[in-house]
Structure 1
């Protein structure tokens, strides 16, 4: 069967092969036509497996059967990664031996909050946990997934459709149509794809004085349970419709040649599909071939083609108006064709292979000679702590290294752990990393072997707690602080040897934050985390009031748990009084009312930052403050008050002495159209200092000794 998923499989195999992988394609059905598969068999490094032809299976293959077949094939020669399309199959694989190696391409997910049942969310969470990467076709789908299923955050990467043209295929020559307007549709014939309504277009355009013919390519006519007569009507219209030429099924290359010989592609669909988070490969193929497309106006299509694209259509009258317009106006036709051609340029096979190479380099880093020189086997690294939220991506990285073996001793609470498991880690590891300088660090320092190295990562929280004073520093090889200021402060308060206390900054997964900004972002301020009161939301409100005096478009978006969600904060009378005053001020202020938006706390920060142009840090003190750095990675401009040590982490140009000075700087940046330029500069600074690959390299050097 040739449909969107089959075309996807062909493009994915070609992109993986071009990225340097040896690829095995496993077919879910017997081969009835070689139109898609035969060209793949000829590619070097590609093996096509047909379980039906090989006698491994002899019936229609359900997801549970496919999962068993894939596990059987993998057992013969284990694979490094398994790319799978579809939620049902991924759900089965998530519970089997391929878990952890899945690169899951999700398309059939609920795409509205109403459809997102508890069972659907649980299944997607299992899939996310079992997947090394989640490949998302569009930015809209990635953002939706991260907001609905927190486990997908940090694993979701953008992987748009791949458009592969046959090498001998020429695009449509530029220029407006010279004869009858030749419309083309390729694909399945189904009610929501408006294929029956399309067959009436040549006759109705003739009434408007536009000579047109419709070329339809495909042989799959949908049997619709809700409309038993659809298949009969559709076939009759294909065979007898006025001005309709039905070409039947063709190899993909021939279907694309027919498209290139026509003037306008049709991708007009039912309005119920406007909320789809998927992008039609057919639209991109038409654009690559120089053929403009009639399609529904959606936010995704507006981003792709521009809000003023002339061939957006929702109703039959819209379609007729658009086709009449370009049938009589060559300039409008040329504009539409140029927009589609430009939009499709980013979806080539080479672009897909480059994206895959980037993913492969992150998931399978090269071994370090420095590490391998330490032992004649992988270095054994243990990680122990009660809360690893600041260590997650570092842990993923260390686990992916071929020259390291990782075990985690997760403590249920700050002072609670399984002593036998902790002792097993002491007996096994070459290096132990204690995340947080708490009871875990005291326990391991008292029990480490003489030939074993102990690394402790210290945060602001522990520095003023009793544990550093109790720690046997002679048993510790290195203490890691996340900023120069806190490195100096730790040396001063503890008296530990300066050589043992070093700085490795917090990491920012810059690739995850590299997403296109949404319109209006330059007027949007962002704060991530407003509790406890030393985060100083009140000072951020001072900034916002200054800005909204002159321009009410400025808005403050706050992504945070609210203070009463932290019992240890809300039980303090002074904390409650602070926030009661702040929220009363927001409600009563003429300038602030309507200018502050509170968004739910969650891991979907990268998606949220798409709307943010400036990230504020108005705290009394911070050890590092990751929020401005994450904003910089997204292309936002950081704006900080001068808390102690801020200038050791961030460039002085982003630091301001008062809320009024901060507001003046933001206003000037926007007024002088400098926001894009400043955001690009901030992003470059982040990548040079705190990008995940840079920080991971420093940890690798540290662990190698």
Structure 2
């Protein structure tokens, strides 16, 4: 960021009570301040204690807006703001001082803000109170989340699992969902080093008290451990006790237990640093919950806070915890995760120093990945991509550079358009043709007369039309793909009106020049873009044995050769599988109308039914935008086509850490490193098997591939090249 970004932050949370959501609000403001943002935090409730708010007051660029104390909302009284009141107040604050981004937490709140429409395109929504399983994801919920995603600039996801779940159910989230895990401050005090536990053993719990968090049965642990010969006491910090209608006796029972249960030392609500000091004087943190929460896609801030203090934590064995701490973490609650099981895990920590030290080390290592400094760096990355600097060529202009983009299919320009719209000094408008050769001539004429530069995607009828209606003094850029060269349109374009023709590979530049006779100086190469940040995700277990193909129609994509590779691999190891992400060919009328195409796919389907080595080994996955999520399961992306202009699939796979494998279609070696190109399907299979059979070979190759695609095709690099084309600089 070169300019100061203004953020408005509001969470549907009460900062008087310490729990994960309130700590999120504090941490978010701290991270935004460290990232260089000018940040206003708007409070939901009247301030009764400054435990969480006071530490923010002195931060650089931070303002705390107190609606109750400042009398900003008529009729609020001493009640917290409702979602409707909050939405109205945020709109008023934005009108007085416009924000660049609005960071929100809370599904009801975000839904209301989206419905009002005042912040479309500026919302950065942090959602945890959403369905997190297929059984909970109703059609009504999916539609609501789709509206939120469509109105948001970014969706902030706490974990990779939550991001992938959201993308699989809400296509609008794809490309917008980014990771924003919880962060914990490093202790501002010396953490005591304790080689041996206290006598009695000190357990600690901090946060809210709620039935599913097992806080009531937790208070019986000292008594239960005493029966096993382990003297223990439980220290608790917090003042938020849930009043749960499903458990009407819980609040009273919890209150009584904190006041007088044997071995309980309740410290009440405390500032965050003091809570950490109390925990640091203890031996073992408690993060044990009801098993109903085991499927949660969230990450426990409590575990990270205890880890920052070097405390081992007793907690449930879940996929999320195994990903964080390892499957062999020694202090998972065994069995059914009931009270007796939790006591058994605590007793193990007390009796087995090696287990306790290993657990403490794992928790400490995990917490190091979630520091406040790491959160600030992550925010800086998100903000730099969302708010790029103005290109030097447009600074100092009396008005923005007017950029018109036209075409019937703009899917290959989506993220470039986002980048253009975000650039200061550019004004972007679209002329979307309803079909390849169908448009509104009046709208097209208006764009041609208005724009300083027109970009036409595909060298088809739109390129022909705009070449004949170019405004004097404007620039005209056309992007040419593969299929146009087989038609008459390039020869119908008035090349004298064109400033640049963009091809995605050197081979297709040469073909375009040969076919059209255009001047070499007018034709340039800019590769396709790859969103390396979105695609760079951890691989799922077993990915190394899974091949992937994206798009198998028309027949020149050669799925049959992909099956050849799979058969060769499965002849030696039945773990190999092939996943295909594509529309079926019969959904493309222009393909399915051709008898030779139907015959090709009929032969493939019969082969998959009858070939013993292919039985159960090919999976057809739904076509859709969730490619980043899908690639987590893929270890090798195949490109077996007869010909391609670029073929984005291998590059996307490379960005995910998958290893590309290509047959030598014309021009492939001018786009991809020759190490990934194989002469035959047999040679391809041998190379893939060799990588997996070599210790660390697949992982090392994936890292090389990831580095290559970042260097050559990263969205930021390609966007910079396109910006030069728009402004006639650097090209």
TM-score category of the 2 structures, normalised to the smaller one: over 0.9
Q: Would you say 1:61 and 2:81 are equivalent positions?
A: yes
Three-state SS of the structure 1 residue aligned to 2:317 is coil
Aligned to 2:119: 98
Three-state SS of the structure 2 residue aligned to 1:391 is helix
Q: How does 1:468-617 map onto structure 2 within 5 Å?
A: 468-617=490-639
Aligned to 1:327: 350
Aligned to 1:646: 668
Tell me, yes or no, if the aligned pair for 2:187 and 2:309 is still in contact at 8 Å.
Answer: no
1:472 to 1:294, Cα distance in 2 relative to 1, 3 A:
same
Q: Would you say 1:694 and 2:717 are equivalent positions?
A: yes
> CA–CA distance in 2 between the matches of 1:480 and 1:254?
60
Tell me, yes or no, if the aligned pair for 2:578 and 2:617 is still in contact at 8 Å.
Answer: yes
Shift of 1:287: 0.5
Shift of 1:204: 1.1
Q: How does 1:276-675 map onto structure 2 within 5 Å?
A: 276-313=296-333, 314-372=337-395, 375-673=397-695, 674-675=697-698
TM-score using structure 1 length: 0.98
Find 1:244's aligned residue among 260, 264, 267: 264
Find 2:184's aligned residue among 144, 158, 163: 163
Tell me, yes or no, if the aligned pair for 1:372 and 1:379 is still in contact at 8 Å.
Answer: no
Three-state SS of the structure 2 residue aligned to 1:623 is coil
Shift of 1:302: 0.4
Aligned to 1:226: 246
Aligned to 2:4: none
> CA–CA distance in 2 between the matches of 1:683 and 1:579?
33
> CA–CA distance in 1 between the matches of 2:236 and 2:58?
30
Three-state SS of the structure 2 residue aligned to 1:215 is strand
Q: How does 1:107-118 map onto structure 2 within 5 Å?
A: 107-118=128-139
1:48-107 alpha-carbon deviations (Å, 9 max, x no partner): 001111111242322121111001001111111111112222222224221111111121
> CA–CA distance in 1 between the matches of 2:155 and 2:525?
33
> CA–CA distance in 2 between the matches of 1:43 and 1:666?
53
Aligned to 2:5: none
1:546-591 alpha-carbon deviations (Å, 9 max, x no partner): 1111111221111112222223323332222222221222222221
Q: Would you say 1:189 and 2:209 are equivalent positions?
A: yes
Tell me, yes or no, if the aligned pair for 2:310 and 2:364 is still in contact at 8 Å.
Answer: yes
Aligned to 1:135: 156
Find 1:253's aligned residue among 267, 273, 293: 273
Unaligned runs of 5+ in 1: none
Shift of 1:22: 0.8
Higher alpha-carbon deviation: 334-343 or 399-408: 399-408
> CA–CA distance in 2 between the matches of 1:351 and 1:32?
31
> CA–CA distance in 2 between the matches of 1:573 and 1:115?
45
> CA–CA distance in 1 between the matches of 2:496 and 2:644?
28
Aligned to 2:41: 25
Higher alpha-carbon deviation: 114-123 or 388-397: 114-123
Aligned to 2:703: 680
Tell me, yes or no, if the aligned pair for 1:176 and 1:334 is still in contact at 8 Å.
Answer: no
Aligned to 1:151: 172
Tell me, yes or no, if the aligned pair for 1:615 and 1:627 is still in contact at 8 Å.
Answer: yes
Shift of 1:174: 4.4
Shift of 1:316: 2.5
> CA–CA distance in 1 between the matches of 2:679 and 2:309?
56
1:153 to 1:440, Cα distance in 2 relative to 1, 3 A:
same
1:27 to 1:536, Cα distance in 2 relative to 1, 3 A:
same
Question: Aligned residues, how many?
Answer: 703
Shift of 1:449: 1.0
Shift of 1:519: 2.1
Shift of 1:44: 2.1
Higher alpha-carbon deviation: 629-638 or 591-600: 591-600
Tell me, yes or no, if the aligned pair for 1:172 and 1:290 is still in contact at 8 Å.
Answer: no
1:166 to 1:42, Cα distance in 2 relative to 1, 3 A:
farther
Three-state SS of the structure 1 residue aligned to 2:722 is helix
Shift of 1:172: 4.2
Higher alpha-carbon deviation: 138-147 or 419-428: 419-428
Q: How does 1:14-53 map onto structure 2 within 5 Å?
A: 14-53=30-69
Higher alpha-carbon deviation: 513-522 or 642-651: 513-522
> CA–CA distance in 2 between the matches of 1:530 and 1:470?
31
1:206 to 1:91, Cα distance in 2 relative to 1, 3 A:
same
1:657-680 alpha-carbon deviations (Å, 9 max, x no partner): 100000000111111121111111
1:364-385 alpha-carbon deviations (Å, 9 max, x no partner): 1111223337x44321111011
Aligned to 2:29: 13
Shift of 1:280: 1.1
> CA–CA distance in 1 between the matches of 2:559 and 2:260?
69
> CA–CA distance in 1 between the matches of 2:587 and 2:373?
48
Aligned to 1:87: 107
Tell me, yes or no, if the aligned pair for 2:566 and 2:685 is still in contact at 8 Å.
Answer: yes
Shift of 1:448: 0.9
> CA–CA distance in 2 between the matches of 1:278 and 1:627?
31
RMSD: 1.4
Shift of 1:28: 1.1
1:248-272 alpha-carbon deviations (Å, 9 max, x no partner): 2222221111111111111111111
> CA–CA distance in 1 between the matches of 2:411 and 2:243?
50
> CA–CA distance in 2 between the matches of 1:133 and 1:317?
43
> CA–CA distance in 1 between the matches of 2:503 and 2:194?
60
Aligned to 2:12: none
Unaligned runs of 5+ in 2: 1-16
Three-state SS of the structure 2 residue aligned to 1:656 is coil
> CA–CA distance in 2 between the matches of 1:571 and 1:423?
36
> CA–CA distance in 2 between the matches of 1:308 and 1:122?
40
1:18-54 alpha-carbon deviations (Å, 9 max, x no partner): 0011111111111111001011111121100011111
Three-state SS of the structure 2 residue aligned to 1:55 is coil
1:172 to 1:299, Cα distance in 2 relative to 1, 3 A:
farther
> CA–CA distance in 2 between the matches of 1:122 and 1:214?
45
> CA–CA distance in 2 between the matches of 1:172 and 1:636?
44
TM-score using structure 2 length: 0.94
Shift of 1:166: 5.0
Tell me, yes or no, if the aligned pair for 1:637 and 1:675 is still in contact at 8 Å.
Answer: yes
> CA–CA distance in 2 between the matches of 1:233 and 1:93?
38
Tell me, yes or no, if the aligned pair for 1:382 and 1:406 is still in contact at 8 Å.
Answer: yes
Tell me, yes or no, if the aligned pair for 1:545 and 1:591 is still in contact at 8 Å.
Answer: yes
